[in-house]
Amino acid sequence: MAYDPNNIFARILRGEIPNKTVLDTTFTLAFHDIEPQAPVHVLVIPKGPYVTYDQFLTEASAEEQLDFFAAIASVIRDTGVAETGYRLITNNLPAGGQEVPHLHVHVVGGKTLGPMLPRG
């Protein structure tokens, strides 16, 4: 899927739209979701133009990947959900529920979470 440089997370990365930053590293930005679905709901995004998880795993450099996964670990620890429990969610492409076409991992926790997927 071609990267759309006008997607909302690209605009956040360019500083065109404000965000509530949790962590800002060389290759990664983490910020609070604007419509949190749990007490902790942080989005972790690579700064590079990747749409999906598989694209990131195959095309991003080792440095970008290490930085991204270390940032996710920091967010998990720093928000306290490492102790209380959490879920990582990545929706990929429209059929996978992806609304913003820039790779992001949702770090969700701070309450008892429901079933992984709706049943039926």
Smallest gap from residue 120 Cβ to ligand AMP (A)? 21
Contact residues: ligand AMP, CB under 6 A: 8, 17, 19, 33-35, 43, 91, 97-100
Closest to ligand AMP by CB, 8 vs 70, is 8
Q: List active site positions.
A: 104
Smallest gap from residue 13 Cβ to ligand AMP (A)? 11
Closest to ligand AMP by CB, 41 vs 67, is 41
- CA of residue 25 relative to chain centroid, distance: 14
Please report the beta strands in 2-114, taking only residues with DSSP state E, as ranges in sequence order.
21-24, 28-32, 40-46, 86-89, 105-109
Closest CA to 45 of 56, 61, 59: 56
Rounded to whole angstroms, the Cα distance separating 84 from 73 reads: 14
Smallest gap from residue 76 Cβ to ligand AMP (A)? 18
